[in-house]
Amino acid sequence: MTSADADAALIERVKLGDVKAFEMLVVKYQRRIERLIGRMVRDVDLVPDIAQETFIRAYRAIPQFRGESAFYTWLYRIAVNTAKKALMELKRDPLITETARASRDDDDETSRVENELSDGETPDAVLASKQIAAAVNLAIEALSDELRQAITLREIEGLSYEEIAEMMDCPIGTVRSRIFRAREAIAQRLRPLLGTRLDERW
Amino acid sequence: MSSGSVTEAALLEQLSALADGEVDPADTAVACARWRDDGRVRASWHAYHLIGDVLRSEDLAIEPSRDVAFLAAVRDRLSKEAVVLAPVPKAERGFRDAGEARPNDAGARTGRRWPWVVSSAVAAGFVGVVGTFTLTRPSAPVPAEAQALASAGSPTLVASRTDTAPTAVAASTPAPARSLALDVSGVVRDPALDTYLAAHKQFAGSTALGVPSAFLRSATVRNYGR
């Protein structure tokens, strides 16, 4: 987990009216937020909608975010409340969303149950996920010790550059460079999986 | 490289450091500007965070095309939102006296802690109510206006505020400001109303962090300086 103020610079940009900085935060946290909501809401079709709503609410409320907690903690609470609200609305009016309506098309109970039991992921998506995880792990193993240690201390242990510099007994600039080179090396291995045209799609 | 001296590698290294919150504000501005213009920067930013997520938890290894579609949808909705402009004025602590309460600050404070409860209200310029005051049928001399309102039966306005749970409960439509400028000590208490207040104070604390309940209302008081 990142340190509490890791997002402070981007949040300041958002508060200055820079919407792109908020998009960067969306890209950073969208997977975690979707997973969180996916654990609360069984209708997988609703998950992206609720996650989007979460980010929109966060955007509206960001002037009130004062950095007393980590941004993700704050976002997490918004996601939980947004999901709860969506579930309550769904109970009141089960046909409230297009996705809910779509999932009821074959409205016999069997297909409904199957729908709820599935985790909503197509075999292709599951395969893609496994390939990505495998590529990251392979890439990590292929790194030099220095790069692997730097990226591990940062991403898994959540240490700051200063702390890593102390542990690895090197200047902060070196830490920064090692983490960057580790990320680029892993990203190189991922690129074939991320799609040839991904730069354009982003 | 359109923005001059920074090479691509240096820019991406800066982006990598920004992902860890380890850059100064000027570099952040540069990175944000490049994010806008450069698909490679966007793809790298995504890749760096995806790598971090996967290292922490393999079930976050999500197909990137989903992430692209998600951002596109959020971006589309963001384009319909008003652009956020902070900084927010610093809220003073301890303005409990109703006479000093500034409605806009009260709204901002409420929103700061429970933005999901009141964010839309704040955005619309709603205000909260600060202070505890009760207004009931008077038997002692009170301003004529307040008396008239009380006898009309509608204005039972209750606002409660604690350190941890600023919550306003309006039992009816908010009364005009002048009728609210009553000193708490000068109010004649009605036992039935006190019971009502006690019951609703419980809700003020317990629902603040949860889903907005039926007991939670935004109350508007216009007592600007009167």
Instruction: Quote the CA–CA distance of A66 and B112 in Å, as a whole number.
Output: 8
Q: Which residue has the tokens 């350190």?
A: B163
In this structure, what token pair is assigned to residue B107? 């709204």
Min distance B51 CA to chain A CA atoms (Å): 7
pLDDT tens per residue across all 202 residues of chain A = 445 578 999 999 999 999 999 999 999 999 999 999 999 998 888 999 999 999 999 999 999 998 889 999 999 999 999 999 999 988 877 654 555 445 444 444 444 444 443 455 678 888 888 999 999 999 999 999 999 999 999 999 999 999 999 999 999 999 999 999 999 999 999 888 876 565 566 6
Query: Looking at residue B114, what is its pLDDT?
Result: 47
Instruction: Quote the CA–CA distance of A153 and A107 in Å, as a whole number.
Output: 51
Q: End-to-end CA distance of chain A, in Å?
A: 25
A81–B211 CB contact, under 8 Å: yes
A201–B53 CB contact, under 8 Å: no
For A34, nearest residue in chain B (alpha carbons): B60
Q: Which domains, from first to last, does chain A contain? A: 8-117 (1.10.1740.10), 123-201 (1.10.10.10)
Q: With helix as H, strand as E and coil as C, how does chain A read? A: CCCCCCCHHHHHHHHCCCHHHHHHHHHHHHHHHHHHHHHHCCCHHHHHHHHHHHHHHHHHHHHHCCCCCCHHHHHHHHHHHHHHHHHHHHHHCCCCCHHHHHHCCCCCHHHHHHHHHCCCCCHHHHHHHHHHHHHHHHHHHHCCHHHHHHHHHHHCCCCCHHHHHHHHCCCHHHHHHHHHHHHHHHHHHHHHHHCCCHHHHC
Handedness of CA A177, B56, B70, A196 (dihedral sign): positive
pLDDT tens per residue across all 226 residues of chain B = 444 456 889 999 999 999 999 998 888 988 888 888 888 899 999 999 999 999 999 889 988 888 999 999 999 999 988 887 775 444 433 333 333 334 344 334 444 444 444 454 544 544 444 444 444 444 444 444 444 444 444 433 434 333 443 333 343 444 444 434 444 455 556 667 666 666 666 555 444 454 555 555 556 666 555 4
For B31, nearest residue in chain A (alpha carbons): A21
In this structure, what token pair is assigned to residue B148? 């008239």
Handedness of CA B137, B139, B142, B143 (dihedral sign): positive
Q: Which of B53, B111, B211 sits opposite A85 (nearest CB)?
A: B211
For A28, nearest residue in chain B (alpha carbons): B49
Query: Looking at residue B65, what is its pLDDT?
Result: 84
Q: Helices A19-40 & B39-56, crossing angle to 10 degrees?
A: 30
Query: Looking at residue B78, what is its pLDDT?
Result: 93
Query: Looking at residue B74, what is its pLDDT?
Result: 95
DSSP reduced 3-state for B60: helix
Mutation target for A interface from B80, B84, B117: give the one with most A CBs within 10 A: B84
Alpha carbon B25 to its chain centroid, in Å, reads 26
Instruction: Quote the CA–CA distance of A199 and B35 in Å, as a whole number.
Output: 12
Decide if A51 contacts A79 (C-beta within 8 A). yes
Cβ neighbours of B13 in A, within 8 Å:
176-177, 180
Cα-based distances in Å from A97 to A46, A93, B101: 8, 9, 42
Query: Looking at residue A58, what is its pLDDT?
Result: 97
Instruction: Quote the CA–CA distance of B174 and B154 in Å, as a whole number.
Output: 9
Find residues 83-112 of chain A whose CB sits inside 8 Å of chain B.
84-85, 88
Find residues 58-117 of chain B whose CB sits inside 8 Å of chain A.
58-68, 70-71, 73-75, 77-78, 81, 83-88, 108, 111-113, 115-116
Buried/exposed B120-136: b ≥16 CB within 10 Å, e otherwise: ebbbeebbbbbbebbbe
B63–A125 CB contact, under 8 Å: yes
Cβ neighbours of B110 in A, within 8 Å:
none
Find residues 24-43 of chain A whose CB sits inside 8 Å of chain B.
24, 26-28, 30-32, 34-35
- DSSP assignment letter at B133: B
H/E segment holding residue B170: strand B167-170
- ipTM here: 0.85
